[in-house]
């Protein structure tokens, strides 16, 4: 039972200000929840983009190495998605409220709650549990008195409940695809996150063909953040065509698009280049010859 419930069942006289503070705190929390629901309805998740973000995250070796847990039980090995993988999926799925809350701390134990709430579909998983302020060490029970030790004990015990809550809200097929992708990453069959590959492609276009990101986005009709695997394949095909001399930059991109969206930094750089013009005397007349442009990094 929470402190707020105890105050309701056993009212204490002459403590009206404390009740006012509790009511104000409750109203503030309610408004925060309403704000989260409103934002989730205003900006609903794109399921396909959310799935792609989850799979891209699972292509990172650092996450793939800690994505699964395992322990022996009854002569068999039990495996499953770890809390780290569950948190990564929740972060990329979007519009989720999840965490661990300590509801009450009593003598020798704490009452905590792990929850995960999909703000769009109103699907919620919640688990209330009790954590004893003690741990087993070297065959004996050690009582925890340091607040930090108690906090870490509640957090560790709550991590398993939180993982269960998250996995109960996220669609099961998304979890299965994430596990498969993590296994492929560990096996060395992954090419890396799509976002990183697109960034490398944009950098190669600029360094080798002077094609800016604005020119590429103008051709595709949307921002690079929305590029898919198909867009990445098309980028590679165009790059290979330019590299092999089968086409020219003007065949694919309009340089005026870069001029329309050029930044102030680019204008300053161009102004600095123009001021470095030298006049070299010629036999017939003086012809101004500009210094060659510096390569853009």
State which of 104-118, 211-225, 272-286 shows the largest mean pLDDT: 104-118
CB 93 within 8 A of CB 47: no
State which of 29-33, 168-172, 237-241, 260-264 shows the largest mean pLDDT: 168-172
- Pairing verdict, β 109-118 and 123-132: antiparallel
Polymer length in residues for the chain = 297
pLDDT given for residue 259 in this prediction:
60
* Confidence class for position 128, pLDDT limits 50, 70, 90: very high
Round to whole Å and give the CA distance between 196 and 232: 11
Q: pLDDT, tens digit, for every residue of 214-239?
A: 999 988 888 888 888 788 888 888 88
Contacts of 216 (CB under 8 A, 6+ apart): 202, 205, 224, 235, 253
Higher pLDDT, 288 or 199: 199
Round to whole Å and give the CA distance between 133 and 110: 7
pLDDT given for residue 124 in this prediction:
93
Round to whole Å and give the CA distance between 146 and 37: 38
The DSSP code sequence of the chain is --HHHHHHHSPPTT-HHHHHHHHHHHHHHHHHHHHHHHHHHHS---HHHHHHHHHHHTTSHHHHTTSEEEEEETTEEEEEE-HHHHHHHHHHH-SEEEEEEEEEEETTEEEEEEEEEETTTTEEEEEEEEEESEEEETTEEEE--SHHHHHHHHHHHHHHHHHHHHHHHS-HHHHHHHHHHHHHHHTT-----HHHHHHHHHHHHHHHH---HHHHHHHHTS-GGG--HHHHHHHHHHHHHHHTTSS-HHHH--HHHHHHT--HHHHHHHHHHHTT-EEE--SSS-EEEPPPPPPP-
pLDDT given for residue 132 in this prediction:
92
Lowest mean pLDDT among 30-34, 59-63, 101-105, 149-153: 30-34
Compute the chain's Rg from CA coordinates.
Answer: 29
Q: Quickly count: other Cβ atoms within 10 Å of residue 60's Cβ.
A: 17
pLDDT given for residue 283 in this prediction:
42
When pLDDT is averaged across residues 13-41 and rounded to a whole number, the result is 71
* Confidence class for position 2, pLDDT limits 50, 70, 90: very low
How far is residue 138 CA from its own chain's centroid? 40
Lowest mean pLDDT among 17-31, 120-134, 180-194, 278-292: 278-292
């Amino acid at each position: 039972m929470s402190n707020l419930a105890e105050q309701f069942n056993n009212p204490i006289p002459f403590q009206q200000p404390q009740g006012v503070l509790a009511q104000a705190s409750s109203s503030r929390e309610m408004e925060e929840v309403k704000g989260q629901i409103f934002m989730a309805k205003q900006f609903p998740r794109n399921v396909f983009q959310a799935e792609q973000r989850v799979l891209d995250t699972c292509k990172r070796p650092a996450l793939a190495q800690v994505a699964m847990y395992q322990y022996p039980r009854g002569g068999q090995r039990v495996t499953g998605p770890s809390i780290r993988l569950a948190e990564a999926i929740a972060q990329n799925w979007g519009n989720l409220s999840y965490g661990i809350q300590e509801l009450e701390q009593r003598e020798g134990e704490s009452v905590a709650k792990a929850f995960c709430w999909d703000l769009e579909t109103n699907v919620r998983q919640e688990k209330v549990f009790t954590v004893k302020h003690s741990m087993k060490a070297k065959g004996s029970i050690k009582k925890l008195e340091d607040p930090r030790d108690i906090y870490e004990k509640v957090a560790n015990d709550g991590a398993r409940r939180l993982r269960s809550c998250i996995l109960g809200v996220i669609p099961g097929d998304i979890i299965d695809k994430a596990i498969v992708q993590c296994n492929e990453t560990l096996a060395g069959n992954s090419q890396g996150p799509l976002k990183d590959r697109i960034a490398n492609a944009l950098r190669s276009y600029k360094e080798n063909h002077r094609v800016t990101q604005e020119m590429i986005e103008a051709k595709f009709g949307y921002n690079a953040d929305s590029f898919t695997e198909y867009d990445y394949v098309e980028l590679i095909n165009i790059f290979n065509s330019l590299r092999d001399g089968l086409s020219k930059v003007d065949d694919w991109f309009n340089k005026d698009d870069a001029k329309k969206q050029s930044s102030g930094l680019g204008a300053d750089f161009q102004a600095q280049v123009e001021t470095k013009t030298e006049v070299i005397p010629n036999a017939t007349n003086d012809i101004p010859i500009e210094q060659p442009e510096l390569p853009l990094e």
